[in-house]
Amino acid sequence: MTNPHLEFTTSLIWDGPHPDIAPEHQIFAPFIGDWDLIVRWFDETGHISRQERGEWRFRWILEGRGIQDVWIVPPRSERSGRSDLYEYGTSVRFFDKDIGAWQSTWVGPMHRIVRTFVARKTGERVVLDTTEGVTPQMRWIFFNIEATTFEWSNEVWTGTDWHIQQTFGAKRV
């Protein structure tokens, strides 16, 4: 008898990128693996309003044609017995050769949020901008990307400038 959980997992997760995705377009490849996080939220004045530990897991999926991540705050090891759980969500991304960028969709069920982005490499950063016409206008930025660490920020457009709402410090597990 086959294990349906294993069958689902092995049909979703893939060992690496599909050959159709050229190396220069594999902008999310450095994040493949498991990460421990320090997550910080900021108020309108720029002061830290909350800080939590978290976990983030990235995998190639769908014959290597996409990348999916699972973002969990607080981490699974700290969720039992807490009433202030933040989120347990996922993003699915794929390279769209027609636009020369990655399309990305975030699903956050605890806050009932779905966000769509277009992601491109900008210098040494990976920048995800909300799709045109989406409000609030946001951008998510991966930066200071190293083999064992990276940083991430969530910024929202206020109408006059970008306000940092959230940052992550990530360390490879």
Which residue, among 137, 163, 168, 165, has the nearest Cα to 151 in the 3D structure?
168
Cα–Cα distance, 94 to 64 (Å, whole number): 9
Please state the domain count of the chain: 1
**Tens-digit pLDDT profile for residues 128-164:** 999 988 888 999 999 999 999 999 999 999 999 999 9
Q: Which two tokens stand for residue 57?
A: 């897991």
Q: Which domain holds residue 49?
A: 4-172
Positions in the chain whose pLDDT score sits under 50: none
CATH code (residue 35): 2.40.128.20
pLDDT of residue 2: 86
Q: What is the pLDDT of residue 106?
A: 98
